[in-house]
Amino acid sequence: MRRHLPVALFVALLASGPLWLPEFGVTLLNYIGLYAMVALGLVLLTGVGGMTSFGQAAFVGLGAYTTAYLTTAHELSPWLTLVIGWIITGGFALLLGAITLRLSGHFLPLGTLAWGISLYFLFGNLDDLGGHTGLTGIPPLSLGSLELKSGESLYFLIWLIVLAFVLVTRNLLDSRTGRAIRALKGGVVMAESMGVNTTRVKMVVFLIAALMAATSGWLYAHLQRFVNPTPFALNMGIEYLFMAVVGGVAHVWGAIVGAGLITVLKQWLQDLLPQLLGSDGNFEIIVFGLLMIFMLQRARDGIWPLVLKLFHGLGAAPRARVLPEAEPLERRPARKAGEVLLDARQVTRRFGGLVANKDMSLSVAAGEILALIGPNGAGKSTFFNQISGVDTPTSGEISFLGERVDGAESRRIARAGMSRTFQHVRLLPTMTVRENVALGAHLRGHGGYLAAALRLERNEEARLLREAQRALERVGLADYADQPAGSLALGQQRILEIARALCADPCLLLLDEPAAGLRYLEKQALAELLKSLKGEGLGILLVEHDMDFVMGLADRVVVMEFGEKIAEGLPAEIQTNPAVIEAYLGGVE
Amino acid sequence: MDLQILLLLGQDGLTNGAIYALLALALVLVFAVTRVIFIPQGEFVAYGALTLAALQAGKVPATIWLAVALGAVVFVIDAAIALRARAWRRLPGLAALTLGVPLAVAALIHGLDAATLALPLQILLALAVVAPLGPLIYRLAFQPLASAPVLVLLIVSVATHMTLMGLGLVFFGAEGFRTPAFSDGSLELGPATLQYQSLWIVGVSLVLIVALYLFFGRTLTGKALRATAMNRTGARLMGISTTLAGKLSFFVAALMGAFSGVLVSPVTTLYYDSGFLIGLKGFVGAIIGGLISYPVAALGAVLVGLLESFSSFYASSFKEVIVFTLIIPVLLWRSLTTRHVEEEE
């Protein structure tokens, strides 16, 4: 209960605001609320999703102009124009997203920069939209017979929507889809290997941010009762980003703090600077710019985390989460021992003139541990990438469960039942250990964005978290479930990746150097785990350097050197194979 | 449209395109070496032109005080670092670069009656004021973040742009300026009338592009910059200072930006904030080249110039809309030709 106290206090203060605030204060809070909606979208987009946009002001403008035009020229109901505004904004966001989100990260902000400028000039030059003078005579919002004419009456609506957005965003982030959004920051390769359709997730996040901005614009138009292009220009788009970054771009409440701070600061600077400098102009941008540079250099996480620290980790300390009871998730039908799972034939991968893999063939059966060994640079990880769909072979065939998968997207392969770990650990360090593991079960859940936002998928979520907990118990990390993953030792992080892979209920497990960085006892525990998984009918393909570990564990061993297979056989045969000894120890000159 | 207008628009487009090409090249350079998407480029354009205008009006351009102030800040920070490391020997060189250069230029401006100088000398003086701002800004805003993600650098870049634009308003006021042409008059060539200033712009741009080409292809410093662009860690292992490379690329970019401003101000009236749009058009060109390819970026920039001039004829109020919407088909084409999902660093 104590946890909810600050929020309750904040809501109570807000609700009673008009009673004790001067009119000017209410007006200011109205604007802060409108800006906070936009900044909140940016928190989701930039802080959580790792993308950014300078064009949010243009989305605000679309929302505002849609309602302004339709309610004045066509006398439509404002509630209808809100929906139309969403549709139009959504359409533009999808278009922009479709062309930029597949490109590397800086093309989205550049695209939004250009779009922000275009739309501003478009608003200013369309006669139907009133040109640079804008549109006047926008009707007030009304609820039944109640007209929301004054700023004070809109105050409650604005802040109700802000709080609703905050709640919905928090719900969304604490769910299966939320984990997928947060996984974007861990890199596309990892997220896709867990079955996340990253392009789609990025698109949805961009869309949500745009719709929040459009809602703000709609409210703005009915608060001001007139619109012109100025508040939707690029510099406002940049200011929204400033708000999010200053407040704390990874925190939902940071959006409100940032919007409040920048708005008040701007008000103050606009009074102060012209007096100091003796002329009028947007001098506050100098201070904002400097503040921004300073924040990004010294406190990139923004103000909100500092506030949290000040109040001694309100809600920040990792607390053990009590998981509700839940049924186990459905499992894949088990494979019969000996059934061939993976069959790679003549796989070749060239990078220009370099042949990283040449005619590599191997197969893995259910209930078998196959070790792939070889000196550094032999091409083992490249081969792993061919199998798991991260890379496409130049030639050759790979089939998994009888289906061709060479060149297939890694999330399709993941769905078919292949799950992997990475040589260089790819975790989300700020997410808890359990949430990281639950990401592995992404494809075993179905809850969508809306269900998550409205908490309609709690039953499934409980099952997913239970599954994650079971995977953690299995690998022996259950005690750390509520710690941030980044706080684990490297060896434990590797084990965590195994738990994440197991959480997908795979039939084939690809492990890239799982024992590196483990202590002797931990290695023994890992070997025990892998043996018991094998006993359950899993196939395991393992790249490893630790010979004691490999030879004691593997059923068969494949040795690679210079991208080619030089030997294959039982561990005992491999240990006496002259070609292998030469590869590892060097031949006699 | 008759031939006359076609030629006129073509000339106009090529002239602007040449300027955009210079800016596009500087942007590609800065991005390649430092991973900074150099939004403040436009401010250097405006600063260059307005500094020259101030000099010609017999005033001391306030930009020189910015250079002196930034130099002093950098000196204090770097001297403190040097002192902590007991590297006394670094101090004289540091003082000469950060304090000496801006103060010397300030002294020159005070000593000489800049308004009476010949145009080339005025231009040199204006460049000497503005170009040092590049490395100073790199040192203060970007160097502490050299290993940050592109996204953070981009936000800092935008913040720097805002600061410099605001300062531009403080320095030069809201009114616009034009500087006299390098040489007045025009050349009749059959049906075409070529303005001398346009010839200057295209000619000087070409010379600069060739000079850059030689610099990168033939000099050790240029090669070091290219090495940094290709692989920062590798370059550092070869003893190339990435910090120095960053400052150098910012210097070149600031110089090219300021020079573009000087070139363009006889044809267009420039205000403190006009640089931004000019710089962004260079950007559209650079994006056509994917921020990687120099020749494609330059060609893209010329295309932007032509598109701009023709759209200003057909739909003048939608000129900017058309130019900035060009980026959409370009990005679409890039998106369709990019085969796989790129991995962020």
Write down the pTM of the prediction: 0.89
Q: Give phi and psi for A243, each to the nearest 5.
A: -55, -50
Residue whose token pair is 């359709």: A197
Q: Which amino acid is at A214?
A: A
Q: Please list every residue in chain B whose beta carbon sits closer than 8 Å to the beta carbon of residue A410.
A: none
Adjacent-strand bridge partners of A419: A509
Q: How far apart are the CA of A167 and the nearest CA of chain B, in angstroms?
A: 27
Rounded to 5 degrees, φ, ψ at A559 are -110, 135
* Alpha carbon distance A303, A291 (integer Å): 12
User: Could you give the CA distance from residue A269 to residue A284 in angstroms, rounded to a whole number?
Assistant: 6
What average pLDDT does this structure show over B234-262?
89
**Is residue A118 less than 8 Å (CB to CB) from chain B?**
yes
Contacts of B155 in chain A (CB under 8 A): 52, 241, 245, 292, 296
Q: Which amino acid is at A54?
A: F
Q: What confidence tier does A341 reach under pLDDT thresholds 50, 70, 90?
A: very high
Cβ contacts of A28-31, under 8 Å, gap ≥ 24? A28/A263, A28/A264, A28/A267, A29/A155, A29/A159, A30/A151, A30/A154, A30/A155, A30/A158, A30/A223, A31/A263
User: Which residues 203-262 on chain B approach chain A with CB closer than 8 angstroms?
Assistant: none
- Which DSSP category does A143 fall into? E
| B32 SS3 class | helix
Mean pLDDT of A434-438: 94
When pLDDT is cut at 50, 70 and 90, the band that residue B343 belongs to is: very low
Q: Which two tokens stand for residue A288?
A: 């904002």
ipTM of this complex prediction, to 2 decimal places? 0.89
Question: Using a CB-CB distance cutoff of 8 angstroms, which residues of chain A are in contact with residue B161?
Answer: 289
Give contacts of B335 with chain A, Cβ < 8 Å.
98-100, 102-103
Mutate to test the interface with A, among B143, B155, B307, B338 (most CBs of A within 10 A): B155
Instruction: Report, as an integer, the average pLDDT of A307-318.
Output: 65
Helix runs in B178-293, H state only: 196-218, 220-230, 232-237, 242-264, 274-288
Residue A587 — very low, low, confident or very high, per pLDDT cuts 50/70/90?
Answer: low
> Tokens 């003549």 belong to which residue?
A346
Q: Where residue A104 falls among pLDDT bands split at 50, 70, 90?
A: low
CA distance B335 to chain A (A): 6
Q: Which of residues 137-166 of A touch B (CB under 8 A)?
A: none
pLDDT band at residue A158, thresholds of 50, 70 and 90? very high
Does B320 sit within 8 Å of A121, measured CB to CB?
Answer: yes
- Place A319 in a pLDDT band, splitting at 50, 70 and 90: low
Tell me what the mean pLDDT of segment A370-386 comes to: 89
CA B207 to the chain's CA centroid: 16
Question: How many Cβ atoms from other residues are within 10 Å of residue B109's Cβ?
Answer: 21
> CB–CB of A241 and B344 under 8 A?
no
Distance CA A552, CA A574 (A): 13
Note the pLDDT of residue B1: 64
Is A288's CB within 8 Å of B162's CB?
A: yes
Q: What is the pLDDT of residues A191-207, one digit of tens each?
A: 999 999 998 999 999 99
User: Using one digit for the tens of pLDDT, what is the confidence trace for A24-76?
Assistant: 889 999 999 999 999 999 999 998 998 888 999 999 999 999 999 999 999 99
Subunit contact B37:A117, Cβ cutoff 8 A: no
Dist CA A582 CA A584 (whole Å):
5
Chain A residues closer than 8 Å to B320 by CB: 117-118, 121
* Nearest beta carbon to residue B166 from set A105, A118, A286: A286
Distance CA A563, CA A542 (A): 17
pLDDT confidence of residue B7? 83
User: For A16-25, what is the mean pLDDT?
Assistant: 85
pLDDT of residue A222: 94
Asked if the C-beta of A91 comes within 8 angstroms of chain B's C-beta atoms, the answer is no
Residue B345: pLDDT band (50, 70, 90) is very low
A106 touches chain B (CB under 8 A): yes
* Interchain pair A293, B141: CB under 8 A: yes
Indicate yes or no: CB of B338 within 8 angstroms of CB of A198: no
pLDDT at B316 over 50: yes
CB pairs A-B closer than 8 Å: 145
Residue A315, pLDDT > 70, answer: no
Q: Hey, which residues 162-201 in chain A have their CB within 8 Å of chain B? A: 187-189, 192, 198-199
* Mean local confidence (pLDDT), B60-89: 91
Closest CB to B321 among A118, A198, A290: A118
Residues ≥6 apart with Cβ < 8 Å to B20: B278, B281, B282, B284, B285, B301, B302, B304, B305
Q: A156 vs A222, A430, A453, B12, CA distance in Å?
A: 14, 35, 22, 55
Q: Are A330 and A305 in contact (CB under 8 A)?
A: no
Q: Name the average pLDDT for chain B.
A: 86
Give chain A positions within 8 Å (CB) of B318.
121-122, 125
Report which residue type is found at A129.
Answer: L
Domain boundaries, chain B: 3-337
What fold characterizes domain B3-337? Answer: ABC transporter involved in vitamin B12 uptake, BtuC (1.10.3470)
Q: Are A138 and A71 within 8 A, CB to CB?
A: yes
> Considering only residues 287 to 326 of chain A, which have any Cβ-Cβ distance to chain B shorter than 8 Å?
288-290, 292-293, 296-297, 300
B-chain residues within 8 Å CB-CB of A293?
140-141, 156, 159-160, 163
In 3-state terms, chain A is what percent helix, strand and coil (to 5)? 60, 10, 30
**pLDDT tier at B342 (50, 70, 90 boundaries)?**
very low
Helix (H) or strand (E) holding A544: none
**Cβ of residue A406 closer than 8 Å to a chain B Cβ:** no
A212-252 tens-digit pLDDT: 999 999 999 999 999 999 999 988 999 999 999 999 888 99
Asked if residue A392 has pLDDT above 70, the reply is yes
- Tokens representing residue B111 in the block: 């000593």
